[in-house]
Amino acid sequence: MPVPVTRQGQVTLTLWQGSWIAAWAVGIIVWGLIIWAVLFYRKRSDRVPHQVRYNLPIEFLYTVVPFIMIGVLFYFTARDENYINRLSPNPDVIVNVTGFQWSWEFQYPQYSVTGTSTKVTSLGQMWPGRLPVMEIPVGETVRFNLYSTDVIHSFWIVQFEFKRDVLPDHPNHFQVTLTRTGTFTGRCSELCGVYHSRMLFTLKIVTPQQFRQWITTQQALQKASGGAQ
């Protein structure tokens, strides 16, 4: 599995790994019981085997144990889902993400900055070409507000260990806390049309100082071009 770059992604990965460990443990026990029964209770003669019915301890065991297993899995799943879906009232950075056929636009309402975006209209303009770039700071809480102007898209960065649908007329939200810097590729993971596979963007996780400098540069560029908001 890829190394998560968010606290929420680490929680997701831990839940996934724990579920697999539990599944393998149950599988080994079940396979062991099957093999044991095949080896020690195989047919040795034409005599009718001893018939067992109404064995309350066994019936109680195979009824209660699965409920306990499901209850434990439900508890950890609900706990982690609540953490992943939690939205703080005052995130450090807000990014409004707009998906459209077939690219992205990123807006930073706290700083009146609109990130770069390339609206793909043909294969030649789409690839090779300049991808939209989103910069966010490490160690800070970032909230994403997701919007679509046309069809259903899905906002996915593999290293987040998480993705969320981008729906028309239904804003979606989530937030993460970044844990390490780096440059990654984001994509749409919901089939949205002919150029869906090229609906990519570049994510840069930088230090807070680099992020503030980038914001200052974008504000200056917008002011110089007359596009400051």
- In tens, the pLDDT along 146-174 reads 999 999 999 999 999 989 999 999 999 99
User: Can you tell me whether residue 110 is helix, strand or coil?
Assistant: coil
How many CA within 13 A on the CB side of residue 107?
11
Answer for the pair 108, 39: CB distance below 8 angstroms, yes or no.
no
SS3 state of residue 35: helix
Task: State the pLDDT confidence band at 105, using cuts at 50, 70 and 90.
Answer: confident
73 burial (CB, 10 Å; 0-12 / 13-18 / 19+) is middle
Which tokens in the block code for residue 227?
């596009």
Q: What is the DSSP letter of 226?
A: T
How many Å apart are CA 223 and CA 219, to the nearest integer?
A: 6
Mean pLDDT of the chain: 85
pLDDT value for 226: 59
Q: According to the model, what pLDDT value does residue 172 have?
A: 94
Kindly tell me if the per-residue pLDDT of 227 is higher than 70.
no
More confident residue, 153 or 56: 153
For residues 127 and 77, which has the higher predicted lDDT (pLDDT)?
77
Does 127 score more than 50 pLDDT?
no
Strand partners, 162: 157
Give the start-end residues of each E strand in the chain. 93-100, 103-108, 113-114, 133-137, 141-148, 153-157, 162-166, 172-177, 182-188, 200-206
The pLDDT confidence band at residue 61, using thresholds 50, 70 and 90, is: confident
Position 225 scores a pLDDT of 65
Judged on CB neighbours under 10 Å (0-12, 13-18, 19+), 61 is exposed
Q: What sign has the CA pseudo-torsion 84, 88, 92, 93?
A: positive
Report all structural domains of the chain as residue ranges with CATH numbers, in order of start.
7-85 (no CATH), 93-225 (2.60.40.420)
- Predicted local distance difference test score (pLDDT) of residue 20: 94
* The pLDDT value given to residue 123: 30
Which tokens is 82 given? 């609540």
pLDDT at 124: 29
Lowest mean pLDDT of 38-42, 70-74, 90-94, 154-158, name the range: 38-42
pLDDT of 122 over the 50 cut: no
User: Band of the pLDDT at 113, cuts 50, 70, 90?
Assistant: low
- pLDDT at residue 74 tops 80: yes
Q: Which band of pLDDT confidence, cut at 50, 70 and 90, is reported for residue 187?
A: very high
Alpha-carbon Rg of the chain, whole angstroms?
26
Given a cut of 80, whether residue 120 has pLDDT beyond it is: no
**How confident is the model at residue 54, as a pLDDT?**
77
Looking up tokens 């007329």, which residue turns up?
Answer: 169
User: Using an 8 Å Cβ cutoff, are 146 and 172 in contact?
Assistant: yes
Give the C-alpha distances (Å, rounded to integers) separating 158 from 9, 112, 208: 10, 28, 22
The length of the chain is 229
For residue 15, the model assigns a pLDDT of 93
